[in-house]
Amino acid sequence: MYTKIVCLAIVMCLISSISICAEQDAENDKGFSGNVNFIFGSKTMSNAWDESKTADAGIKLDFRHNSWPVYIACDLIGAGTLDETNAEWNIGARLYAKDRVGFNAFGGAGLTLIQASKGNLNFFGTSNSDDDKGTGYWVEFGFGYFGRKFNIGVDIVKSSANVNLQGKNMNAGGLHASILIGYRW
């Protein structure tokens, strides 16, 4: 069920970004603007996890009408190992220090929905796994070069959401440190 929701959210974000781009081209500077960035990095979690540091990757989308002071942010980040995985869907607001071409700092915050699973593979390759969902918060800070169409930078995100896995309450969030590469319209 959760996988279907995440897939639907990704499709909705991509469709809305395509329609926003088309509207932006039609109205020039009177319409919407935004960013689609891919992130690659690592996630550090609490010691309750067997692997407290894992690789992560995701997509970050933000958009706004040019009359709005902040961007609407919709991010999807996945991290994990063979035995432990989690997926974060972050929704909130993102603010750029300067909305122009050049080097720029940005920050954001909002709500997160985290799906986490933890299991133990045995000798025969079968798993005794458990999964849970939790809601919480995320905050971020980043810095990068935002060109007319191309973005590159770094992004630090702190997220927190409690889940219950294998009888233990634990924080499925963590600290993400990522490189971002993307497109601006």
Domain 2-184 has CATH 2.40.160.20: yes
Which pLDDT belongs to residue 145? 95
Distances (CA, A) of 129 to 29, 44, 73, 79, 87: 51, 21, 32, 17, 16
Query: What span, in angstroms and rounded, lies between the C-alpha atoms of 62 and 22?
Result: 16
Q: Is 51 helix (H, G, I), strand (E, B) or coil?
A: coil
Domains of the chain, residue spans: 2-184
Q: Around Cβ 61, how many Cβ atoms within 10 Å?
A: 22
pTM of the model: 0.79
Token digits for 95? 């603010």
Residue partners of 113: CB distance under 8 A and separation at least 6: 88, 89, 133, 134, 135, 161
Which pLDDT belongs to residue 77? 95
Token digits for 82? 């063979």
Which pLDDT belongs to residue 49? 73
Backbone angles phi, psi at 115, to 5 degrees: -105, 120
**What DSSP letter does each residue of 88-100 carry, written as one string?**
EEEEEEEEES--S
Which pLDDT belongs to residue 26? 45
**What DSSP letter does each residue of 27-44 carry, written as one string?**
HGGGSEEEEEEEEEEEEE
Mean pLDDT by 10 residues, the chain (185 residues): 51 51 49 94 81 88 93 94 87 91 94 88 64 95 94 96 89 94 93
**Is residue 175 within 8 Å of residue 158, measured between CB atoms?**
yes
Token digits for 130? 């458990």
Q: Is 125 helix (H, G, I), strand (E, B) or coil?
A: coil
